[in-house]
Amino acid sequence: MNDFTNCPQLYKYRAVDQLPEPASIDAERGKLIHAILEDLFELPAGERTFESATELLPRKWQEQLASTPELATLVLDEKEWFDRAQSLLTNYFILENPVAFEPSFRELHLERDISEEIYLHGYVDRLDIAPTGEVRIVDYKTGKSPKPGWEEKALFQLRVYALLYWRNQGVLPHLLQLLYLGDTKTIKSVPTESQLLSTERILNAIGAEILTALESDHFPTKKSRLCDWCFFKAICPAHN
């Protein structure tokens, strides 16, 4: 949905044509850190230390290399790669103390038909249910926090998760939390029913636009600064 909002043609290349894209080093770094944090919570609370997290690093990296062999050509300096990963893990421990709580779910799959024609699903990095019943939805970001004024856009993804959880479980999450390991910042938001209903309306509106684009096979290009990072620029009609 983000792709479609940013540029319908980009959405077509990715979601409809499913053209392959090369691995991105930032995305792969994010996957590695997410995998380590997921496994960290397999350990008993008292063992969830920075040392345990860094011990997981070589094994998770080998697993990632096995599943994405082309990474070997992207990561030319393994020491630098490990140093950067360790620094992100250091930042994680500045933001949270994983010894102090028990997560309820990691990589929780949420799904729902939000209308007759639109099925929506996503994976939540972590969902914590307090003994008193309050639900917290947590998402890790390995980049830096958004500039002032862009927090709402960043929170949209978590509001979608909150909406799915609320609709499926009948429980309104208490807190949404984005942890930015790139610059040790946290964005928190207390979702309200009206925010989630508004999120649902936006999702239905974007979904309807996607269906119209599919039916008419019309996916307009939308030039923006994103084009400079778009892998498909070389074949995009807006640039050729």
What is the 8-class DSSP label of residue 217?
A: T
**What is the strand order of the sheet 135-141 is part of?**
105-113, 119-129, 135-141, 175-180, 185-189
Closer residue to ligand SF4, CB minimum distance, 66 or 229: 229
Closer residue to ligand SF4, CB minimum distance, 185 or 233: 233
End-to-end CA, the chain: 25
- Asked if 65 is part of the footprint of ligand SF4 (rule: CB under 6 A), the reply reads no
Q: Residues 4, 9, 85, 189: which binds ligand SF4 (CB under 6 A)?
A: 9
Calpha distance 180→73 (Å, rounded): 27
- Asked if 4 is part of the footprint of ligand SF4 (rule: CB under 6 A), the reply reads no
Closer residue to ligand SF4, CB minimum distance, 24 or 192: 24
Least distance in angstroms from the C-beta of 4 to ligand SF4: 11
Q: Where do we find the tokens 């004024």?
A: 149
- Asked if 227 is part of the footprint of ligand SF4 (rule: CB under 6 A), the reply reads yes
Calpha distance 55→31 (Å, rounded): 17
For 127-194, give the DSSP string. EEE-TT--EEEEEEESSPPPPTT-HHHHHHHHHHHHHHHHHHHS---SEEEEEETTTTEEEEE---HH
Could you tell me how far CA 89 lies from the centroid of its own chain? 17
Closer residue to ligand SF4, CB minimum distance, 188 or 223: 223
Q: Residues 5, 52, 204, 221: which binds ligand SF4 (CB under 6 A)?
A: 221
Q: How many residues bind ligand SF4 (CB under 6 A)?
A: 14
Backbone angles phi, psi at 160, to 5 degrees: -65, -45
Least distance in angstroms from the C-beta of 1 to ligand SF4: 15
Q: Residues 7, 137, 203, 210: which binds ligand SF4 (CB under 6 A)?
A: 7
Contact criterion met (CB below 8 Å) for 139 and 158: yes
- Asked if 16 is part of the footprint of ligand SF4 (rule: CB under 6 A), the reply reads no
- Asked if 222 is part of the footprint of ligand SF4 (rule: CB under 6 A), the reply reads yes
Closer residue to ligand SF4, CB minimum distance, 7 or 196: 7
Residues that bind ligand SF4 (CB under 6 A): 7, 9-10, 221-223, 226-227, 230, 232-233, 236, 238-239
